[in-house]
A and B are shown apart, each in its own frame.
Chain A
Amino acid sequence: MWNEAIHSLVFYFLAGLSILTAIAVVGSQRILRAALALAGVLICNAGFYVLLDFEFLAGVQVLVYVGGIVILVVFAIMLTSSVELVENHPSSHRKWIGALAASFFFLVTSSAFLSSDFPVDRNALRSIADVKLLGRKLLDYGAEGYVLPFEIISLLLLSVMIGGIIVARKAPQSEKKK
């Protein structure tokens, strides 16, 4: 019972925190503050993964998302000098369309979630050594394995790295000649 109570207490605390920081991401005037709020949302999500017993995934989330992507976005903000660019108020027309689309999406999905009957399996206990299972699955050639997506992801990351350098490098050759 103690466990359950602490579990639900942590869940509701993290849920409230993540929703508040998510609203800060979309609503704050200064874009740098929005990026920091995004880091808050991502850390809350890592907390959710710990709550659901996915400790490895929580570690990856903090390392890659908070340590990598947020830093990258902060670099993008600095390089495009959006720091000084204070977001002027969006027109109420845009705001209404955004709020309408978001609330419709939320209503439709949550009603679908509430009306459907999920085959929840709470009795089976998760194995502790699931990182081992993860590694085996990632390099498994069989029908249940994920070796092909794993290789494709590595190619994708390589091509993204090269493409990023090419797109964002200094002036192209043709402009230098002028």
Chain B
Amino acid sequence: MMEFLSGISPGIEHWLILSALLFSIGIYGVLVRKNAVGVLLSAELMLNAGILNFVIFNYFITPLIVDGELMALFLIAVAAAEAVVGMAIFVAIYKHKKTVDVTRLDTLKG
């Protein structure tokens, strides 16, 4: 059991495939969700997979410097900003249209 578990210890490919999987689940959510808040949630999922990628490359390829971790910190701050703006926009849309269903917000559709 112990030999088996230490034999399959995750390398960089395992980590990268994990983050790609999380990102593609996020893509599915962005394309399928109808509620705008659900789309925002899926976008957060994708952002998080991107942050995980920075951290993975920092750990495996440049372990002596902290640039990947710094990028992850900046990305977390940008994600917070994005969530604030998204929430404000959804509240404004809800006041005007009384719905946040993205399939019915088609004013700009030609």
Contact = CB atoms under 8 A, between A and B. Distances in A.
Interface in A32-52: 34-35, 38, 41-42, 45, 48-49, 52
Contacts of A120: 11-12, 60-61
Nearest to B79: A69
Interface residues of A, number: 90
Contacts of A53: 59
Contact of B61 (A81, A99, A119): A119
Contacts of A124: 63-64
B74 A153 contact: yes
Interface residues of B toward A: which range?
35 or more
Contacts of B81: 156-157, 160
A124 to B, nearest CB: 5
A113 B20 contact: yes
B76 A26 contact: no
Contact of B35 (A11, A85, A125, A138): A85
A134 B35 CA distance: 39
Contact of B45 (A26, A94, A149): A26
B40 A76 contact: yes
B14 A4 contact: no
A47 to B, nearest CB: 11
Contact of A87 (B18, B35, B80): B35
Interface string B15-49: 01110111111111111111111101110110010
Interface of B: 1-3, 5-6, 8-14, 16-18, 20-38, 40-42, 44-45, 48, 51-52, 55-56, 58-67, 69-70, 72-74, 76-81, 83-92, 94, 100-101
Interface of A: 1-2, 4-9, 11-12, 15, 18-19, 22-23, 25-26, 31, 34-35, 38, 41-42, 45, 48-49, 52-54, 56-57, 60-61, 64-65, 68-69, 72-73, 75-77, 79-82, 85, 87-88, 90, 94-95, 97-99, 101-103, 105-106, 109-110, 113-114, 118-122, 124-127, 130, 133-134, 137-138, 146, 149, 153, 156-157, 160-161, 163-165, 167-168
Give me the 3 closest cross-chain CB pairs, A-B, nearest first: A26-B29, A98-B31, A4-B6
7 contacts: A4-B9, A18-B18, A35-B41, A94-B31, A101-B27, A110-B17, A146-B74
